[in-house]
């Protein structure tokens, strides 16, 4: 007799031709008399034909909602309590039940998003997560008689527990060792390729995240093995396991994708997924047939059909083994959720090394007040030099800010007509870059590229290819705006919107805005993650900015551009270079990405989740726990030898284009450069960026910017 999920009572559909559907057919005016004369076999044949016709029509008209209709029809049969439909859906329901404990992972990510919320919110979300996880995902299986560590209700005898079959030796060593050694071996196999993540980290959050990843993989395998309680379902386990393995190869989690692509290109993930779906459907139909055969009254000698059905429904291994495997999978899923939650909690206390302090006093170098108020400084160039930031980099930083001239000397330009072609003209000098788009072509309409097809950073290194050459002091492009130059409705001679708006804490007080725009020839952010994998973000050219807001008497705030957003801090918390005036902010630029931070740390988690609209700090904690870090340091400093004051009409700010054809994020593991999403647009000339057009609204208006 078939075994239901979690040892549920078997379903006993009536013989074909004698069920509810057959009785409904017998009531039809013309069909009923015919079936009455032909008997039960004709009724069964008509029912089978109806199923084939309905299924075929649903597949043919799948693009017009046919599959929706078929699903609704099956749901109607389930609601009506049709035994055959219940038997057919049983293996699918059991497969979903086997995967249910893995649903704890999304709940943990939700809980991780409130780690920095008030204590009451944390407590409420933690309690809610526990209750939802227990009652929605774990309670039914934990209370099931199939749980090997729990006695069936109402039977206190030890012999009633499936995990303790009677025998002369009681618990044999195989009965204890096998359920323990199997998950231990699977955890060891899963852990081996992931140990590289701890190299150079040695932090609690990274270790716990690694442990959670190993436990998730082990839980997935164990739950799938525990699902194989019959030989029919063992076929589902095999098919689904092969499809998931091929998917892992395609994702680069396991080796072998390139070999299969070369020697067996037809074995694709889609094909194996389709085969797995077909096997599930066939097993669902076989469940109907086998339960129908096995529930008939077989008097005397068993028929061949009964023997065959019994063979298909027989368990491939001892039931207590399946129970133990499923239990260990359940336990692994719960421990993975706990390890992941502890990992992000530990990450909330992380952040790498502390900020740098003055070597003599041991205190942070706090900013000063200007001897000459900004309102008394007449020349924009003098303001720009007075507050010019000093950038600090790690030892391995490849690029420092530079003029765009060298970049243009090795670049090509394409317009809206030549994009995607190989024959491109060389980019003109900075003074000859296009400043207008013809006709109705939207801005920005041009693109620059240095033709780096493999997106390797070597394309953008200095001529001698050494990081040391990047330490040469060069120029910064500075925009200085005075509120008095912008009447309420803007200025007729300026193509940009009014940059001033009474937004945020300093909206009304801000009388001057100074934006320092730094141009880097390349952006390559590489972050090691699990198992030696690398998370990479790359694009040619990079524009980053530091914005300083000033009142008539002195500085108010400093804003730092970062990954698709940024942070701002009031002037009193800004770290400054150790100069007599203490007016030049010290800015830590992250290695490769050039994201700007208020002070240097060894490792910090970028809040790149803001780019996808995820609440602030949610992905920051997960990123830190999973070792996705921005490396900052103060191995060497950079300050410009030239301040080039610009407006939107000054080259290169007048260029109506983008400085790279794309921005690409990839994951490098057993496969190289797996795209994570599609390519996004490359960086545009600053006047086409929101930070230039609406600086006050961008910095203080929420969105991807926040206070630090």
DSSP state of 506: T
Query: What pLDDT is stored for residue 121 in this prediction?
Result: 76
Any idea which residue has 């013809």 for tokens?
438
d(CA 51, CA 70): 10
Range of 29-33, 416-420, 459-463, 616-620 with top mean pLDDT: 416-420
Contacts of 3 (CB under 8 A, 6+ apart): 10, 229, 230, 313, 315, 319
Residue 194 has pLDDT above 70, yes or no: no
Query: What pLDDT is stored for residue 199 in this prediction?
Result: 44
Q: Say whether 58 sits in a helix, a strand or coil.
A: helix
Residue 23 pLDDT class (50, 70, 90 cuts): low
d(CA 491, CA 391): 34
Residue 382 has pLDDT above 70, yes or no: yes
Any idea which residue has 């072609």 for tokens?
421
Range of 34-43, 265-274, 346-355, 544-553 with top mean pLDDT: 544-553
Residue % of the chain over a pLDDT of 70: 69
Q: Supply φ then ψ for residue 173, to 5 degrees.
A: -65, -30
Q: Dump pLDDT digits (tens) for 503-532.
A: 888 988 999 999 999 999 888 888 777 655
Residue 108 has pLDDT above 70, yes or no: yes
Q: Dump pLDDT digits (tens) for 249-262.
A: 887 877 888 888 88
Q: Dump pLDDT digits (tens) for 168-180.
A: 444 445 545 655 5
Query: What pLDDT is stored for residue 157 in this prediction?
Result: 45
Please report, in angstroms and rounded to a whole number, the separation of the first and last CA atoms in the chain.
Answer: 65
d(CA 655, CA 408): 12
Task: Give CA 16 to chain center in angstroms.
Answer: 49
Angle between helices 618-625 and 319-348 (to 10 degrees): 110
Count of C-beta atoms within a 10 Å radius of residue 497: 14
Q: Say whether 515 sits in a helix, a strand or coil.
A: strand
- Render 1-16 in DSSP notation, one character per residue: -PPPGGGPPPP-PPPT
Residue 702 has pLDDT above 70, yes or no: yes
d(CA 563, CA 544): 10
Residue 385 pLDDT class (50, 70, 90 cuts): very high
Residue 490 has pLDDT above 90, yes or no: no
Q: Are 316 and 228 in contact (CB under 8 A)?
A: yes
Q: Dump pLDDT digits (tens) for 200-215.
A: 444 677 777 778 888 8
Partnered with residue 545 across adjacent β-strands are: 517
d(CA 491, CA 506): 23
pTM: 0.72
Residue 327 has pLDDT above 50, yes or no: yes
Residue 442 pLDDT class (50, 70, 90 cuts): confident
- The pLDDT of 365-385, averaged and rounded, is 91
Query: What pLDDT is stored for residue 610 in this prediction?
Result: 62
Query: What pLDDT is stored for residue 35 in this prediction?
Result: 59
Nearest Cα to Cα of residue 685 among 337, 482, 404, 439: 404
Residue 360 has pLDDT above 70, yes or no: no
- The pLDDT of 63-74, averaged and rounded, is 75
Query: What pLDDT is stored for residue 650 in this prediction?
Result: 94
d(CA 123, CA 114): 10
Residue 642 has pLDDT above 80, yes or no: yes
Query: What pLDDT is stored for residue 528 in this prediction?
Result: 72
Mean pLDDT of the chain: 77
């Amino acid at each position: 007799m078939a075994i239901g999920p979690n040892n549920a009572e078997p379903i006993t559909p009536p013989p074909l031709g004698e069920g509810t559907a057959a009785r409904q057919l017998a009531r039809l005016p013309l069909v009923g008399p015919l079936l009455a004369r032909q008997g039960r076999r004709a009724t069964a044949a008509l029912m089978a034909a109806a199923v084939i016709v309905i299924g075929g029509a649903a597949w043919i008209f799948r693009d017009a909602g046919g599959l929706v209709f078929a699903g609704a029809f099956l749901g109607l049969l389930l609601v009506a309590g049709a035994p055959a439909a219940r038997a057919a859906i049983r293996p699918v329901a059991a497969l979903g039940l086997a995967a249910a404990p893995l649903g704890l992972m999304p709940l943990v990510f939700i809980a991780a998003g409130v780690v920095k919320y008030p204590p009451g919110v944390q407590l409420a979300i933690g309690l809610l997560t526990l209750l939802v996880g227990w009652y929605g995902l774990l309670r039914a299986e934990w209370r099931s008689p199939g749980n090997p560590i729990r006695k069936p209700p109402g039977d206190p005898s030890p012999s009633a527990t499936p995990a303790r079959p009677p025998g002369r030796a009681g618990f044999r060593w195989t009965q204890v060792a096998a359920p323990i050694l199997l998950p231990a071996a699977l955890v060891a196999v899963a852990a081996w390729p992931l140990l590289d993540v701890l190299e150079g980290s040695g932090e609690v959050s990274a270790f716990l995240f690694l442990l959670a990843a190993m436990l998730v993989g082990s839980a997935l395998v164990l739950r799938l093995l525990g699902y194989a309680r019959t030989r029919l379902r063992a076929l589902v386990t095999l098919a689904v396991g092969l499809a998931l393995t091929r998917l892992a190869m395609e994702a680069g989690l396991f080796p072998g994708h390139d070999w299969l692509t070369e020697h067996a290109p037809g074995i694709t993930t889609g094909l194996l997924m389709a085969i797995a779906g077909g096997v599930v459907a066939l097993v669902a139909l076989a469940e109907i047939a086998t339960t129908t055969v096995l529930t008939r009254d077989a008097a005397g000698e068993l028929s061949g059909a009964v023997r065959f059905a019994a063979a298909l429904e027989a368990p491939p291994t001892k039931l207590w083994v399946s129970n133990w495997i499923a239990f260990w999978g359940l336990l692994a899923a719960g421990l993975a959720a706990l390890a992941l939650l502890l990992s992000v909690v530990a990450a909330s206390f992380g952040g790498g090394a502390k900020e740098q302090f003055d070597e003599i006093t041991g205190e942070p170098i706090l900013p000063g007040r200007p001897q000459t108020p900004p309102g008394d400084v007449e020349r924009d160039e003098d303001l720009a030099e007075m507050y010019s930031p000093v950038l600090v980099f790690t030892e391995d930083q490849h690029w420092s800010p530079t003029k765009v001239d060298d970049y243009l000397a090795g670049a090509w330009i394409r317009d809206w007509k030549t994009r995607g072609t190989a024959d491109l003209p060389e980019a003109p000098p900075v003074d000859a870059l296009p400043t207008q788009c013809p006709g109705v072509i939207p801005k920005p309409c041009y693109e620059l590229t240095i033709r780096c097809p493999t997106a390797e950073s070597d394309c953008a290194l200095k001529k001698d290819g050494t990081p040391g050459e990047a330490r040469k002091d060069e120029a910064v492009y500075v925009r200085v705006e005075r509120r008095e130059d912008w009447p309420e409705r803007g200025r007729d001679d300026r193509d940009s919107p009014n940059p001033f708006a009474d937004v945020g804490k300093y909206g009304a007080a801000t009388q001057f805005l100074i934006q320092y725009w730094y141009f880097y020839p390349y952006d390559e952010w590489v972050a090691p993650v699990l198992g030696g994998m690398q998370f990479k973000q790359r694009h040619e050219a990079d524009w980053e900015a530091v914005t300083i807001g000033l009142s008539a008497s002195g500085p108010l705030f400093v804003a730092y551009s970062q990954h698709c957003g940024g942070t701002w801090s009031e002037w009193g918390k800004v770290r400054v270079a150790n100069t007599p005036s203490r007016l030049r902010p010290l800015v830590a630029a992250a290695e490769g990405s050039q994201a700007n931070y208020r002070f240097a740390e060894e490792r910090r988690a970028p809040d790149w989740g803001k780019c996808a609209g995820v609440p602030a700090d949610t992905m920051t904690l997960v990123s830190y726990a999973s070792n996705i870090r921005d490396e900052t340091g103060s191995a060497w400093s950079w300050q410009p030898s030239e301040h080039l004051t610009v407006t939107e009409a000054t080259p290169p700010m007048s260029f109506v284009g983008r400085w790279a054809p794309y921005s690409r994020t990839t994951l490098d593991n057993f496969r190289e450069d797996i795209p994570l999403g599609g390519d996004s647009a490359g960086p545009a000339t600053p006047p086409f960026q929101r930070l230039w057009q609406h600086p006050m609204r961008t910095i203080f208006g929420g969105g991807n910017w926040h206070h630090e």
